[in-house]
Amino acid sequence: MTYRLPPLTTLRLFEAAARLMSFKQAAEELGLTPSAVSHGIQTLEDWLGVRLFIRYNRGLDLTEAGQAYLPQVSEALASLARATDAVPGRRPSGKLSVSCASTFAARWLLPSLPRFQARHPEIQVSMDTRFRQVEFPRDGIDVAIRLAAGPWDGLHALKLEEEWLVPVCTPAMAETISSCADLARATLLHNVSVSTDWAYWFATKGEPEIEPARSSRFDTIQMVLDAAISGLGVGIGRLPLVQRDLDSGRLAMVLGPPIPSRTAYWMVCARESLARPEVRAFRDWLRSELPLSRAG
Amino acid sequence: MTYRLPPLTTLRLFEAAARLMSFKQAAEELGLTPSAVSHGIQTLEDWLGVRLFIRYNRGLDLTEAGQAYLPQVSEALASLARATDAVPGRRPSGKLSVSCASTFAARWLLPSLPRFQARHPEIQVSMDTRFRQVEFPRDGIDVAIRLAAGPWDGLHALKLEEEWLVPVCTPAMAETISSCADLARATLLHNVSVSTDWAYWFATKGEPEIEPARSSRFDTIQMVLDAAISGLGVGIGRLPLVQRDLDSGRLAMVLGPPIPSRTAYWMVCARESLARPEVRAFRDWLRSELPLSRAG
DNA sequence: GGATCGGATGAGGCGCGCTCACCCGAGCCG
DNA sequence: CGGCTCGGGTGAGCGCGCCTCATCCGATCC
C-alpha cells in the first residue's frame, strides 16, 4: 500500500492555472498548449471526483474545493522545489538565472558579464527582466538584483552598493549649467514611473523646485538616460548605474555632489540556493566587483 | 518561468525505495517491476546530477544527498496525500480501507460487516491486516482499529470499548472448573506474543500462579481461542473479542467475572479523513454497534 | 453581425515510462 | 570449488498516457 496521490504531473498544471487564473497563461508558462492544460486538469478533477474550477466563457474561478486545495499543493510543490534545489553535492547544472531590472541589465550587468564569463566559462547565465519581484523558488530564478531598502525575510541578501542621485547631461550641456537657476533654461527629463526624482533632489539640495523652460517625460529610466546622452536635456542619473556613461564621457554630472538615495542595490537569493556552485560563484564574483561604480 | 521540479513520478519511486531500502520491495509496493524502479530512479539521479543511492550487489544505502532529500520528499508527498484526501466535496470514491489485527478481523469485523454493507451497499470495504501500526496517510489506510491505551497525537480517535480478560474453554470443560485450584489439572493455553496474560490474570485475582499439569503455546491469540474451542484446554479470552463464541456456546467463561485489561479498542483515523463520507459512515456505524459485545 | 478570445472536445501521434529478457557480481550452500 | 540464488543494472521494444492539432462553442466587444 502506498500514498494515494493523484497523477502528480497534473498538480503542476493545477497550480499554475490557479495561480494565473487562466489555462492559457498556465500553458504558456509551462510550455504547453492550452488544450493540454485543459485535458490535464480534467484528468485531475476526474481523479478527485470534484471540480476545481468554475469555467466561465471568459476566465475562471476556483471552486471551494480548488480554493482549499491550491495553497496546500502550492506549498508542497514549492517545498519540493526548495528541497530539490538544495540537494547537496548536485553536479552543477551549469545554468544560472539572474533576475534584475532591465536598466541594471543594460547599464551594468550586460557590460560586466564578460568578466564573469571569463572566470566561469562553464556557467551559462540567463538574464530575466520580466519580474519586478521574484517569488523563490516558484519563478525559477536563482538570483535577483534589486534596488530596495530591505529587509529580506528568510532570504540570503548581499548589499552591493548605496544608490546616489545626480543630474546628468552631455558634457557640452554641462558647461552651461553651474547653478540650479541655470536649470530654468534647460529641459528637465522625467521618468513617469519614478516621477519624484527631481522633487526629491531639489528638496535634498534645499533649493526651491525650478519650473524649467521645457520638460519631457519618458516611460523608463533607461529612456531618460538615453535622452540625456542624446542631448535632449538634463535627467536624474543614478550611481552606480550611470558610472559607465560618466567614465566614457557620454554623460557628465552637474550640480554635484551626488545625494544619497534611500535605497541600495542588493543581491538576493534563497538560502538554499547557496548550496549550488553556480550561485556561489556569481555571489563571489559580484563581491569581487564591488564597488560596482569602479571603472570596468 | 516555473518551479524547477524533477519528473514528479520519479519522486514516488525514490520515496518508496528509500523507505524500504530496496528497489524490489518498492516495485512491489508500487505495482511495478524492479526494472521500472531502477530506470526511474536513474532518471531522477540524472536530472539532479547526483547519485541518491549507493548500490551494493545486495542491498542499498542512501548517499548523503539521498539522506538529505528523503525527509523533504516524504513530507511533501505526505502533505500532498493529506491535502488530496481532504479536498472538500470530493465525490465519494466508494472505497474504504480498514486496518486491524487479524484476530479482530476474524472474530468481530468480518461477522459484523454484513450489517455495515446492508446500510452502505455503495461502499466497498477492504480489510488490511498487514500493519501493526499504520502510518497515515502513507500506508493508504483510511481507518485503523487498534487495541491500545492512547493517546493519539494529531489523529481522530474514537474509544470503542474497554477490553476484559477471562479464562475460557468449552462449556463441557467449564463444568469441571470452579476454583483456581482446578486449573492445576487442566491444560493452560498460552500465546507466545502476549505471554503475560495468565500471570496478569492470576496477579489481579490475587491468586498464586498455578503450575498446570500441561500447557501449550500458540503463535496467535486466534490460535489460542481455536484451541480452546477444540477443547484442548483453558485460554485467556478477551472481551469483547470472544463475545460471539460465548453467545454461541462454543466457549464458556470460567472463574469470572472478567477482569479489566489496561487497554481498550479504538478507532483511529487521520483528522482529514473525516471529510470523506465513507469514513464518516464507518465511524457512525461503529458507534451504532457499541457496545461491540452486544449480541449481533 | 462579424471578430476575437478563452476554454472544451475528439482524434491522432509521439515519446516517455514500463516490461521483458538478460547480464552481473556477491554470498551461500553442498 | 561450482552452481544456485538473489538483488540490482541494462538495452530493446512496445503500449499507453499525454500532448498537439483542428475544430467547436459561447460570450463579449466593436
Q: Chain B neighbours among A 103-142 (CB < 8 Å)? A: 128, 130, 137-141
Nucleotides of chain C in contact with protein CB (under 7 A) are 5-11, 16-22, 24-27
Instruction: Output the DSSP codes for A42-83.
Output: HHHHHHHTS--EEEPSS-EEE-HHHHHHHHHHHHHHHHHHHH
- 8 Å CB contact of B86 and A77: no
The answer to whether B77 contacts chain A (CB < 8 Å) is yes
Bridge partners of A189? A216, A235
Instruction: Say yes or no to pLDDT of A296 above 70.
Output: no
For chain B, the first-to-last Cα distance in angstroms comes to 62
Select from B178, B25, B76 the least CA-distant residue to A80: B76
Per-residue pLDDT in tens (0 to 9) along chain B, 296 residues: 578 899 999 999 999 999 989 999 899 888 888 899 999 999 999 888 889 999 887 778 899 999 999 999 999 999 999 899 888 777 667 788 899 988 888 888 888 899 999 898 888 888 888 888 888 888 888 999 998 877 788 889 998 888 889 999 999 999 999 888 898 888 899 987 777 788 889 889 888 888 887 888 888 888 889 999 999 999 999 888 888 889 889 999 998 789 998 888 999 999 888 888 889 999 999 988 877 766 55
Select from A48, A73, A78 the least CA-distant residue to B88: A48
Cα-based angle B215, B219, B222 (whole degrees, multiple of 5): 95
Task: Spell out the alpha helix ranges (H) of chain B.
Answer: 8-20, 23-30, 34-48, 64-85, 102-104, 110-119, 171-174, 197-205, 221-229, 243-247, 277-289
How many other C-beta atoms can be found within 10 angstroms of the C-beta atom of residue A248?
10
- DSSP three-state, residue A286: helix
Chain B residues in contact with A138 by the CB 8 A cut-off are: 2-3
What backbone phi and psi angles, to 5 degrees, belong to A135? -105, 105
What pLDDT is attached to residue A269?
Answer: 93
- DSSP three-state, residue B113: helix
A181-216 in b/e form (b: 16+ CB < 10 A) is: eebeebbbbbbeeeeebbeebeeeeeeeebebeeee
Instruction: Say yes or no to pLDDT of A295 above 70.
Output: no
Mutate to test the interface with A, among B4, B10, B91, B272 (most CBs of A within 10 A): B4
Grid coordinates given for B286: 461503529
Residue in chain A nearest B142 by alpha carbon: A4
The answer to whether A8 contacts chain B (CB < 8 Å) is yes
Q: Chain A neighbours among B 81-100 (CB < 8 Å)? A: 81-93, 97
**Which domains are delineated in chain A?**
8-85 (1.10.10.10), 95-160+263-289 (3.40.190.10), 163-261 (3.40.190.10)
Give yes or no for CB of A43 within 7 Å of strand C: no
Round to whole Å and give the CA distance between A50 and B141.
Answer: 21
What pLDDT is attached to residue B13?
Answer: 93
Query: What separation in angstroms does the CA of B138 have from each of A12, A82, A294?
Result: 21, 22, 57
Q: Chain A neighbours among B 251-280 (CB < 8 Å)? A: none
Bridge partners of B264? B148, B162
Chain B residues in contact with A72 by the CB 8 A cut-off are: 79-80, 82-83
Give yes or no for CB of B58 within 7 Å of strand C: yes
Please say whether the beta carbons of A212 and A167 come within 8 A.
Answer: no
pLDDT digits (tens, 9 = 90+) for A84-101: 888 877 766 778 899 998
Residues within a 7 A CB radius of strand D: A 7, 9, 27, 31-33, 35-36, 39-40, 43, 57-58; B 22-24, 34-35, 38-39, 41-42, 53, 55, 57-60
How many other C-beta atoms can be found within 10 angstroms of the C-beta atom of residue A21?
13
**Closest CB from B3, B29, B50 relative to A91:** B50
